[in-house]
Amino acid sequence: MAEIATLLSEADAVFDENRRMLANRTLQLERMLGEISVVESPQALLGGFIQVGRAIRRIGYSDLCQHYFNLRAAGASRDDALAALAAPAAERRNP
């Protein structure tokens, strides 16, 4: 539980959403991924998204969750999905 609290504090400093929203969206995404047989812990999701958020700065956490889900549902690995999200916007539009 301490790890989640630490990650939520870090995420709170990176994203505009409050800790409660961050926690809710993370758990929602964990369930959505489970429905497509992708298992990722909330800690792994938060940790990856914190890195992406620091890299690109201007993205909402909810948007990030949805884009990540779409990439994973399309078959992208965790690493590939996070890399795609962290890529500069121009690279994302012109792969």
Residue 33 has pLDDT above 60, yes or no: yes
Q: What letter represents residue 11's amino acid?
A: A
Q: Are 73 and 91 in contact (CB under 8 A)?
A: no
Q: What average pLDDT score do residues 20-31 get? A: 97
Q: What average pLDDT score do residues 45-49 get? A: 97
**pLDDT tens digits along 1-15:** 789 999 999 999 999
Q: Where are the domains of the chain?
A: 2-93
Residue 90 has pLDDT above 90, yes or no: no
Q: What is the dihedral of CA 38, 42, 45, 48, to 10 degrees?
A: -140
What burial class does residue 52 get, using C-beta atoms within 10 Å of its C-beta: 0-12 exposed, 13-18 middle, 19+ buried?
Answer: buried
pTM above 0.85, yes or no: yes
pLDDT band at 27 (very low <50, low <70, confident <90, very high): very high
